[in-house]
């Protein structure tokens, strides 16, 4: 069946919306993977501190700097999540419960006391 210009345009718009939604989801996934890696490095650093009897200032300082980087990356992930929701709304999706379950933003981390 031959498509007229309007139908072709509608198809292209739908395709573009789907691609934008996919890019937003992938961007958020990448941000969350980065957070996971940072969290593992922080936990590893905390474990090395627990092994030692005394907390060395240098180790605590490095862990706190990593916590700062983690919290900035978390804010970036929150922004990516927001973009995903906005794009979903623009495409016509109104319920986001499944998105909330799949893309969970972890809580902020706190500094170690020095």
Instruction: Indicate whether 112 pLDDT > 90.
Output: no
Contacts of 69 (CB under 8 A, 6+ apart): 38
For the chain, how many structural domains are there in total? Answer: 1
Distance CA 61, CA 11 (A): 54
In a domain, 114, yes or no: no
Instruction: Please give the residue range of the domain that contains residue 81.
Output: 5-102
Secondary structure of residue 3 in the 3-state scheme: coil
- Give the pLDDT band (50/70/90) at residue 47: confident
Q: Six-digit token pair at 73?
A: 């990356």
Distance CA 32, CA 66 (A): 16
In a domain, 112, yes or no: no
Tens digit of each residue's pLDDT (9 = 90 or more) over 55-104: 677 788 888 999 999 999 999 999 999 999 999 999 889 999 999 999 99
Is the Cβ–Cβ distance between 35 and 88 less than 8 Å? no
In a domain, 88, yes or no: yes
Instruction: Please report the pLDDT score of residue 49 as a whole number.
Output: 67
In a domain, 84, yes or no: yes
Tens digit of each residue's pLDDT (9 = 90 or more) over 3-28: 788 888 888 998 999 899 999 999 99
Q: What is the average per-residue pLDDT within 25-35?
A: 95
Q: What is the value of pTM for the model shown?
A: 0.78
């Amino acid at each position: 069946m031959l498509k007229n210009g309007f139908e072709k345009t509608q198809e292209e718009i739908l395709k573009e919306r789907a691609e934008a939604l996919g890019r937003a989801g992938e961007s958020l996934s990448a941000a969350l993977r980065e957070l996971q890696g940072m969290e593992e490095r922080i936990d590893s650093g905390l474990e090395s501190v627990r092994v030692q009897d005394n907390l060395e200032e240098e180790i605590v300082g490095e862990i706190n700097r990593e916590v700062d980087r983690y919290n900035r990356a978390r804010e970036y992930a929150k922004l990516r999540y927001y973009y995903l929701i906005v794009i979903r709304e623009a495409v016509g999706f109104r319920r986001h419960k499944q998105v909330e379950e799949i893309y969970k933003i972890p809580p902020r981390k706190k500094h170690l006391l020095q």
